[in-house]
Each structure stands twice: as C-alpha cells, then as structure tokens.
Structure 1
C-alpha cells in the first residue's frame, strides 16, 4: 500500500477497562475478530474484519483509567513536524512523538477546542487494511462546541481545504485533501449534555444499520440518534457499554439529494 497522504484518517483505537467485554461487544456488533494481545505494547490488540486490520483495543495504562473513547489517527510522514504545527496553531501535544518498535511513530494531541486525536507515521503498520467494507472504518466527524477553533486548526495542521454546508439549522463543514472529503466537523448543540467533551465520532461500516443497532442495544449499548437515512447512507449513533461513542452506517442504503456546499478555504 502506498503511503497515505498527510491528514488522511488512517487508524482508530480505544482504551477499555474491560477489554474482554469490548471484544465481545464489537465482535457481536461489527463482526470483528481479534489478534493476540501484544504484551510488549501494553496488550494492544488488533481487530480484524474479514481478516483485514481495521482498529485496535487496549487496556488503559495505570493512572489512565477513565471514560472510554475512540481515538482517530491521521497519517503523516513526519510526526515531529506535525507536533510543531499543532503547538504553533494553539493545540496541545498530550503524548510526545514516540517510536512504536518497527510499526511506526505516533503522538496524541488536542485541538484548541478540546478534541483529542492521534497522528501516525507509518513503519511496517500502515494503518487500515480496509475502509468502507463491513466492519471497517468509513468516516469520521469532529464534534466541537467551538467550531471556529477547529476550523482554523485542522487546515493549518494538515493543509485541508474546506466547504461549509448551506443549511442555517446545522453548522457542518467538510475538510478535503484534493477532491476527497476526508473529515467532517459538526457543531455540538445544546442537545449534548455539558459533561460530554468534544470528540471525534468514528463511523464503522455495517451491512444493515438496524440489525447492528439491535445487536448493540441487546449487548448493553445505548442508541443516541437514528437510525436515519441520508444521501451518504443509513446511520445511527451509539455508545458502547463502557461509554465510547461511535456510529454505524450502511452505505448501500441512501436516500435524498446531496447537500449543497460552498468553499470557505
């Protein structure tokens, strides 16, 4: 696989206090199977969809127990350079660039509005082995209460261009690499309880949105929104039994016209 362009979402993982519970839940909902836990790297455990690496789960490090959340990583050929741009544009580096054996290098950061994300410089691990296939990553959106901060930050760090949705009811923006939309940005409204922090909502592909929701709720997940038909697919927003938010989307079931956008970059 060729190196991914800088700023392309390339990997997702999450910390779970109950790792076996997470494996059971996502195995049932998304059909994941799991590799051996890597004791050398804190029992980091890769998830597979149809034999292709699509995400990972890991127990928290001592002192990092807390709310589970999915973390999205963006590709870069130089994590150290990205760390500099993050700081220069008002973000914070939470974990300094770190070599992960032969697999690559990573950092964790927070944008000026509080959204946590990662950056991955590929070594032997290039990231997602599948996208937009059942069980695999499909899409992601930054949810923030301060969109103007995220809107300035991400294009400065990753050289995105941007288009804004022409809709007075929703403040939604798309970030692009070339002609490809790679990330959304949604303003969090008062519908979100104040204790919910800004976050990246990761979408995983499913064959049947309603069936996935039924499995998720049957196994202790909570339906937060949907299912809803859109021009991009039928999707729903969920939280898993340990509180991590994620979405499922059936991209084969679409309805309605594509929204109108205008350039803002």
Structure 2
C-alpha cells in the first residue's frame, strides 16, 4: 500500500479497561474481528474489517487505570523526532516523546494548544490503515476546539496543511458555524476538519478529535450501539457527506458513525482561509 502524506490521518486506537467488552461492542456495531494480543507491546490488539487492519485497542498502561477511554487519531510523519520539535515550537505539548515500537514504526503523543490530544506515527513495517472509507473502516476526523485560531495556527505550523473555510448555507443550524478543512500535498481530498465548539457542547467536555467510522446503515449502527449500552450524543443527521451520528461506547470512548451512501443536500461552498 502507498504511504500516507505528511499530516494525513493514518491510524486510530483506543485504550479500554475492559478489552473483552470493547471487542464485543465494536464487533457488533462495526463488524470488526480481532487479532491476537501482542503481549510484548502491552497486549495491543489490532481490529480488522474484511481481513484488513482498521484500528486497534489496548488495555491501560501501568498506572493508567484511572484514565478515561478515548479514541486517538494518529497523523503521518516521516520523522517523529522532528515533528515533536515542531509541536513544541508551535506551542503544543508532547505527552509522550517519540518511542520506537519494534520494527512497526515510531509513535508520539501530543496535545495541541487548545487541548485536543493526538498521535503521530512514523511508519516502519506497520504502514497504517489498510482500508479507508469503506464499511467498518475509518472515514474522517475533526478537531473540536473552543479556540480555533490557536488550533489552526498550530496545525498549519506543524503540518503542511492548506486550509479552506466552509461557508454557512441557508440552514439556520449552520448560522455561526466555524468549520475548516485541511488538505495536504499528495492527497486527493481534504484530510482533516476543524469545528469550533459552540454553546451546544457542555462546558465540561474538553477539546478532542472525533473519529468517524463508515457503516452501511447509520440508524442500525446507532440502535445496536444503544442496545449494547452505548450513548447517543447527536443525530442521526443527514448531510451532503452522509448520514451520521455521534455516540459513545459503554466505556465512554466517543466516536461517530457515518453512512456515506445516504446523502442529502448540496455540497457546501468552500473559500480559501
């Protein structure tokens, strides 16, 4: 498979205290199967859709039992050490310095200045997502922040992003919306979105990155998630990009599902930002 361009999302994983419960939930909601736990790497367990690697789950690290479950998006880098220095220079916080993971690659964890946590991945044998935009696989991600100016400046200082702003349409729900998309050289489509968190987000919800997974039927996925103890946060809602909903699994990890085959409305106009 081809390499991911610098700054493009290339992998996602999540930490769960109840790994078996996470497997049951995502196996039924997204149709995932799971490989064996890699004991030499903290029981890191890859998830597969149609035999292709699409994500991973991992138990908490020693001393991390009180950390909340959350999905982490990894952005591609060709030099993790250099990216870590860029993150620091741009006002971000490196939570975990670059760490080599055997022959698979090198990872780091960081936090952009407004608070959203993300990872970076320098590939070795593990290149990243083996499929995208298909049922059971990663589809899209958005940075949710209350300080878009700081987040935007940081992202464009660390990665080779070109930004476009989405112009609000006639829908009253879009009034006051501040949404941008970022593109990188070598990618045919935008690779990342950024949304300003408005008053509809409870103040206790910190900035985060929402990861979208593709499903064949949004409503069915939501129903299954709720049946298994998940929580519906938003939607299902129709859009020009697909019918989507924001949910959380029973352990509190938030994510979104989207049926990209069910679209409604015209594509929004974009302007250079």
TM-score, normalisation: structure 2: 0.95
Q: Distance in 2 between matches of 1:64 and 1:191?
A: 30
SS in 2 for 1:12: strand
SS in 2 for 1:80: helix
- In structure 2, the partner of 1:111 is 112
Deviates more, 1:204-213 or 1:61-70: 61-70
Match of 2:178 among 166, 171, 178: 171
Shift of 1:2: 2.1
Q: Which runs of 5+ in 2 are unaligned?
A: 169-174
Q: Distance in 2 between matches of 1:157 and 1:243?
A: 30
Aligned pairs for 1:1-265 (under 5 A) are: 1-65=1-65, 66-167=67-168, 168-178=175-185, 180-264=189-273
Deviations 1:5-39, CA, capped at 9 Å, x for gaps: 10010000000011111110000000000000000
Q: Distance in 2 between matches of 1:11 and 1:42?
A: 18
Displacement over 3 Å in runs of 4+: none
Shift of 1:180: 2.3
SS in 2 for 1:180: coil
Deviations 1:55-100, CA, capped at 9 Å, x for gaps: 0000001222221110000011100110011001000100000000
SS in 1 for 2:132: coil
SS in 2 for 1:68: coil
Q: Distance in 2 between matches of 1:47 and 1:80?
A: 28
SS in 1 for 2:238: strand
Q: Distance in 2 between matches of 1:257 and 1:78?
A: 39
Deviations 1:149-192, CA, capped at 9 Å, x for gaps: 11101111111000111124211111111452000001111222
Deviates more, 1:20-29 or 1:187-196: 187-196
Equivalent residues, number: 264
